[in-house]
Amino acid sequence: MKSSHQKELLLCALKHFEIEIVDVAGHKVKLEENIFISMADGPQFQLWKSGQREATFTDVVKLCTHIKTQQEWNEKSGVENSGASE
């Protein structure tokens, strides 16, 4: 798959999953919370979090599902941990 097609596929999938894109530069897509996705030949999508490679995906839907699940878990965790102590 050509890198331009791969990038368009990724951007379309992120939009479909309602995952906010902060910036797009070259073969990298930056998301919120210090997360970015780099695209490599294959096609491969590498998910990076805080400068560390977290996972590699060949399926953009699985990648987006993983990101969305992590975001929802973080939101739920944040709500549960933000309450006042009893």
Cβ–Cβ under 8 Å, residues 63 and 37: yes
In tens, the pLDDT along 21-30 reads 999 999 999 9
Query: In whole angstroms, what is the distance from residue 36 CA to residue 1 CA?
Result: 21
pLDDT of residue 74 exceeding 90? no
Q: Is 35 left (phi over 0), alpha (psi -120 to 50) or beta?
A: beta
* Longest CA span, the chain: 56
Which CATH number is 3-81 given? Answer: 3.30.310
Total residue count of the chain as it appears in this document: 86
pTM comes to: 0.81
Domain-wise residue ranges, the chain: 3-81
Query: In whole angstroms, what is the distance from residue 45 CA to residue 55 CA?
Result: 8
